[in-house]
Structure 1
Amino acid sequence: MPLVPTGELVAAVTGSASTALAAFNVISLEHAEAIAAGAEQAGSPAVLQISENAVRFHGGDLLALASATAAVARASSAPLSLHLDHVVSVGLLHAAHEAGFSSVMFDASKLDYDDNVRATAAAVRWGHERDIWIEAELGEVGGKDGESPLDAHAPGVRTDPQEAATYVADTGVDALAVAVGSSHAMTERTATLDHALIAALREAVPVPLVLHGSSGVPDDEIRRAVAAGMVKINVGTALNTAFTGAVRAYLDAHPSVVDPRKYLAPGRDAMAATVARFLATVG
């Protein structure tokens, strides 16, 4: 089916206390195929998101990975959107429209507050002129490639509700990723979220809230976060954990295999099952 704009998928679940939209990171064609298959199994919409790190991994070629991912999405029976995630480069932001993305997460969170506001507001103006939905981040989720480990419970790390309300008003963003106790790249699901803070942010901020680093959050914590006001749930590392575990198990059992199709298939199936499970968790 045709790609669905991310903003439409988000709007369909905004205000629900039992349903959120899950977004999954794409690194390879197998990731895209697994996300589509998992969404079909669950009978749910989903977002296929490509990060700046993934683009860098593919030699900086956004169009090749985006085109392949979009082709997989269009061939699926599930409602799927294409999202560009954690974009730091303004050049990559400006490539999003031609590459077919309906949404971008512009990440100026490493800048000081005033510079973050200026850069994000400019990104929003550019995006809205092209009907591109813009997400931003305030607070420190941490854990991305190249970053030192972050204590998600350290003082000053979490998003302040009043600052978030001012930030949204000054930038015009369509959604806000907030720091409430999760961290990127967690391989164990041990994160504890601050649900009172989520509720306070939901009350203070007039746009949908986004939870990054959801791979490390247990199912019950995710459900409570959705009930408290989280609208978009980002998942990446959990897919890689499932994929790598299945590939490793296959190669351990079949050490003479050299055809990558033999071990990529169980890895892709494991990711699809993980996608379906997260989609069931978010409703």
Structure 2
Amino acid sequence: MPAATTAPLITAARTSGRGIAAFNVITLEHAEAIATAAEQTELPVILQLSQNAVAFHGGRVEPVLAAAAAVARGAAVPVALHLDHVEDEELLRAGVAAGISSVMFDASKLPYEENVKATARIADWAHARGVWVEAELGAVGGKDGAHDPDVRTDPAEAAAFTAATGVDALAVAVGSSHAMTERTARLDLGLIARLRTAVPTPLVLHGSSGVPDEELRRAVIAGMVKVNIGTALNIAYTNAVRDHLTAHPATVDPRRYLRPAREAMTATAAHLLRVVAG
């Protein structure tokens, strides 16, 4: 069947009070594992390609997106395609031309007024082409753990931002951080609830790999809808490869270690799909 589109999946999750997981794809094995996990759990899912992942593939979005799209079309459950953390407008245009249904345009590093101006322009352009747009406000942070409370998203500013830009969803800074390898983040659940009240659009949690299961469940109850996950799959992938090569150091056929890596990612994705869906 054709790949699903992001907008109705987000709407359905929000209406039902559930979350929907969005997993980052780097290799074909990632996409296959995520789709298999979605089939096992009978839950919809979003496959995300970040600007960094596209750069890894030589800066060309078409080949890796075509592979992810083929996986999505072959799945027995709804699987949508999304571009994540896009700053390069050329990449955005290429992704739309190649068939993505949604994009996270990231101008969050810019001063507030410049973020508004750039995001509003991109939202107008994308909406004219039927593409759902996510943006970010606040500082979710990089690879150094949960960020300082002083850079978390302000509800009043978030309401003004969504009104000024016309975006369809907003990624907010509430205590998580990208690329965490330990699940120790503590979210500001009260802030999430205030943001849900202030902002008319669905809320998105980035950096979810560092958030414990019960904290993720509470975040969805408080108001999060789209929950982004990347590093958790990479940990499963890398540990499985490392374990296989440690036990079988003479291995040269990559299928020998990519199969357990894919299976490990499937198990991790299935677990997190259930956690996020509640």
Aligned-partner Cα distance in 2 for 1:282–1:240? 18
Deviations 1:70-94 (A, max 9, x none): 0011111121000000000111111
Q: 1:165 matched to which residue of 2? A: 159
Which residue does 1:3 correspond to in 2? 3
Please name the residue that 2:179 is paired with: 185
Q: Say yes or no: does 1:176 pair with 2:175.
A: no
2:221 corresponds, among 203, 223, 227, to 227
Distance 1:116 1:94 in 2: 19
Query: Once the two structures are superposed, what CA deviation does each residue of 1:16-64 show, in whole Å capped at 9, x if it has no partner?
Result: 33x1110000000000000101101111000000000000011101000
1:252 partnered with 2:235 = no
Name the residue aligned to 1:22.
21
Task: Output the CA distance in 2 between the equivalents of 1:171 and 1:85.
Answer: 18
Q: Is the 8 A contact 2:146 2:176 kept in 1?
A: no
- Alignment deviations for residues 150-204 of structure 1 (CA, whole Å, 9 cap, x no partner): 651x242100000000000000000000000000000110000000000000000
Alpha-carbon distance between aligned partners in 2 of 1:150 and 1:267, rounded to the nearest angstrom: 26
Alignment of 1:278 with 2:277, yes or no, is: no
Provide structure 2 residue ranges, at least 5 long, that are not aligned to the other structure: none
The two structures have a TM-score, normalised by structure 1, of 0.96
2:150 paired residue number: 156
Secondary structure in 1 aligned to 2:179?
A: coil
Residue of structure 2 equivalent to 1:261: 255
The answer to whether structure 1 residue 13 and structure 2 residue 7 are counterparts is no
- TM-score under structure 2 normalisation? 0.98
The DSSP-based 3-state class of the residue aligned with 1:183 is coil
Partners in 2 of 1:268 and 1:156 — Cα distance? 39
* Cα separation, 1, equivalents of 2:207 and 2:16: 21
Distance 1:191 1:106 in 2: 25
CA–CA separation in structure 2 for the residues paired with 1:200 and 1:45: 27
Moved over 2 A (4+): none
> What is the CA distance between 1:117 and its match in structure 2?
0.4
Aligned to 1:92: 91
Q: Which residue number corresponds to residue 109 of structure 2?
A: 110
How far apart in 2 are the matches of 1:102 and 1:203? Answer: 27
Residue type at the aligned position of 1:224: R
Q: How many residues align?
A: 277
Q: Look up the match of 2:120.
A: 121
Please say if 1:196 is aligned against 2:173. no
Which residue does the alignment assign to 2:129?
130
Which residue identity does 1:10 align to in structure 2?
A: I
SS at match of 1:233: strand
Greater share of residues in helix: 2
> 1: CA distance between counterparts of 2:16 and 2:203?
12
Alignment partners' CA distance in 1, 2:151 and 2:56: 29
- Are 1:216 and 2:215 matched, yes or no? no
Change (3 A) 1:234 1:155: closer
Q: Work out whether 1:71 is the aligned partner of 2:70.
A: yes
Offset, 1:243:
0.3
TM-aligned CA deviation for residue 15 of structure 1: 3.5
Q: Which amino acid letter does the alignment assign opposite residue 270 of structure 1?
A: A
3-state DSSP of counterpart to 1:241:
helix
Residue 142 of structure 2 is aligned to residue 140 of structure 1: no
Q: Report if aligned partners of 2:146, 2:185 keep a CA contact under 8 Å in 1.
A: no
1:94 maps to amino acid: R
